[in-house]
Amino acid sequence: MVFSSLVFLFYFLPLFLLAYRLLPWRQTTLVLFSLVFYAWGEVLYAGVMIASVIANHRFALWIDACDAAARKRAVAIGVGANLAALAWFKYATFLHTIAADLLPGSVTGPAPQVHLPLGISFFTFHAISYLVDVHRREVPAERRLLDVAAYITMFPQLIAGPIVRFHEIRAEIHERHAETAGFARGAQLFVIGLAQKVLVANVVAEPANTAFAADPMQLDAASAWFGALCYALQIYFDFAGYSTMAIGLALMIGFHFPRNFDHPYVAQSITEFWRRWHMSLSRWFRDYLYIPLGGNRRGAWITARNLLVVFFLCGLWHGANWTFVVWGLYHGAFLVLERSGFARVLDRLPRMLRHAYAMTVVLVGWVVFRAESLAQARDYLAAMFGLHAANASAAVPAPAYLLGVVAIAVLAATPLAGRAARRATGTDGSGAAIASDAGAMLLQNAWLCALLLAFAWSAMRLASGAYNPFIYFRF
């Protein structure tokens, strides 16, 4: 089940909110509905997530009870168990293929066909952060299994994040207040995210798919760039829209999730891009991998190594394919380049050129990320830079309405739209309330009407069976 579905909007969510408000067992209600939410699409593999909850509850109690020396061993075993499960379900086939290529005489037989449970990358990272936080004494281990289950299975962040560390919401796990004002702000954020997903991401997904499904050897440069731009908008509004819905849902039931995106397409460097894109994942890798590896405290070469290791794993986290690995290393290489002195060169360039540099690097990276193989990525990039011009015969249709959606999407990806949305909802990017004046109240009232229209339009598109993919479902 995903947020942008009629079942969720008109059946699951109303029933959950009614039960959550009326029943006295809020924690139990949240866990049970979260399990139903997950089992709706993964009946058989819901057991994997339940096993993760039980195992990590026990691991945390063990870690908490150990002395300093034993605690390191205990957390290593707990984290290792989580990573082993993730490696089996997500990378077994990929690793078998690599081993067969490297050792053709030693590795025989077909690659194992292992089903990928929904959201395993996200709930595994949540579990690991919980164990590490207990190890670091940032939080005590939870005695009640129900509280750990509420954290790991919580349906707003279960399938696609944001990646919320336990210490960020521990107080709200134990005691939270679903206030009317917070509920209203959360509902507005949810509708904004739904509109981003259904009215923008789903629309630009179609020309992106057309471009990447075409033979890149026959694709003209304009269509190739247009397809890459549409995919860049699709993945942003798809994921940022889902994150906004998650933040809104959490706020409706008394949780405050961290902001996950901060207008990444206004970045003027790749370093800045990663401070703005999927911020919860960036912070996770920073706190649990980059800094423990030494961060930037041990010289330029160690810093470069650490960045490449982090982004290699960041790419691999997204999927078991060489395209994701190359995409991660590609971004890591640009971060190393900017740290080696290129950032000072960028600082001397006009703002427009800095932005053009960052967006070109990002768009090229998205082509690698989206491609089914490195060969397709190579040929598609060649088409973008006009190397197949003599053979170009395929073009991506761009009717006026589609160009209009793309133009609106580009504008909506800027801070101008973000400031308007925050002012209209009376919140900051994480859903926390900000001060309102008379002008803001007038804007909020006007925007409420727009949000109702956006919700109705989104629901009608979903009811009509319009194209409704979800990119991060496979991660």
Q: Please count the structural domains in the chain.
A: 2
> pTM for the whole thing?
0.89
Q: Are residues 309 and 218 in the same domain?
A: yes
The tokens for 394 are: 């395929």
Q: What is the DSSP string of 283-343?
A: HHHIIIIITTTTTTSS-HHHHHHHHHHHHHHHHHHH-SSHHHHHHHHHHHHHHHHIIIIIH
Judgement on whether residues 155 and 275 belong to the same structural domain of the protein: no
Based on the fold, state whether residues 82 and 132 are members of the same structural domain.
yes
pLDDT digits (tens, 9 = 90+) for 277-297: 999 999 999 999 999 998 888
Q: Do 219 and 118 share a domain, yes or no?
A: no
Q: Which residue among 391, 409, 441 closes a domain?
A: 391
What's the distance, Cα to Cα, between the start and end of the chain in Å?
A: 15
Q: Are residues 270 and 354 in the same domain?
A: yes
Q: What percent of the chain has pLDDT over 90?
A: 57
441 has a pLDDT exceeding 80: no
Asked whether residue 25 is domain-assigned, the answer is: yes
- Averaged pLDDT score across all residues of the chain: 87
* CA pair distance 89, 469, nearest whole angstrom: 22
Q: What is the per-residue pLDDT across 205-236, written as a single tens digit (0 to 9) for each? A: 999 999 999 888 888 888 899 999 999 999 99
Do 204 and 230 touch, CB atoms closer than 8 A?
yes
242 inside domain: yes
CA distances from 395 to 144, 216, 226, 450 (A): 58, 10, 10, 35
Give the range among 135-139, 162-166, 326-330, 385-389 with minimum mean pLDDT: 385-389
Q: Which domain holds residue 235?
A: 182-391
Q: Are residues 158 and 215 in the same domain?
A: no
Residue 474 belongs to some domain of the structure: no
413 pLDDT above the threshold of 80: yes
Domain check: are 132 and 51 in the same one?
A: yes
Q: Which of 260-264, 394-398, 465-469, 470-474 has the lowest mean pLDDT?
A: 470-474
> Same domain, yes or no, for 129 and 239?
no
38-52, 268-282, 331-345: least confidently modelled range: 38-52
Judgement on whether residues 219 and 348 belong to the same structural domain of the protein: yes
CA–CA distance, 303 with 301 (Å, rounded to integer): 5
Cα–Cα distance, 108 to 110 (Å, whole number): 7
What was the pLDDT predicted at 428?
54
Percentage above 70 pLDDT, the chain: 90
| Whole-number pLDDT of residue 475 | 59
Indicate if 142 and 193 belong to the same structural domain.
Answer: no
Q: Is residue 128 part of a domain?
A: yes
Residues marked as catalytic? 318
3 state DSSP class of 446 = helix
Q: How many CB atoms lie within 10 A of CB 421?
A: 18
DSSP-assigned states of every residue in 157-211: HHTT-----HHHHHHHHH-----HHHHHHHHHHHHHHHHIIIIIIHHHHHHHHHH
Give yes or no for residue 337 having a pLDDT over 60. yes
Residues 161 and 216 in one domain: no
457 in a structural domain: no
Residue 235 lies in a domain: yes
- Whole-number Cα distances in Å, 5 to 1, 192, 198, 219, 462: 7, 15, 10, 34, 7
Given 141, 176, 211, the domain boundary residue is 176
Of 176, 192, 214, which closes a domain?
A: 176
My answer on whether 99 and 204 are in the same domain is: no
Q: Is a pLDDT exceeding 60 seen at residue 427? A: no
Could you tell me the pLDDT band of residue 425, with boundaries at 50, 70 and 90? low
Is 1 within a domain?
Answer: no
Let me know if residue 466 belongs to a domain: no
pLDDT in tens, 371-408: 999 999 999 999 999 887 666 666 777 777 788 888 88
State the pLDDT at residue 424.
59
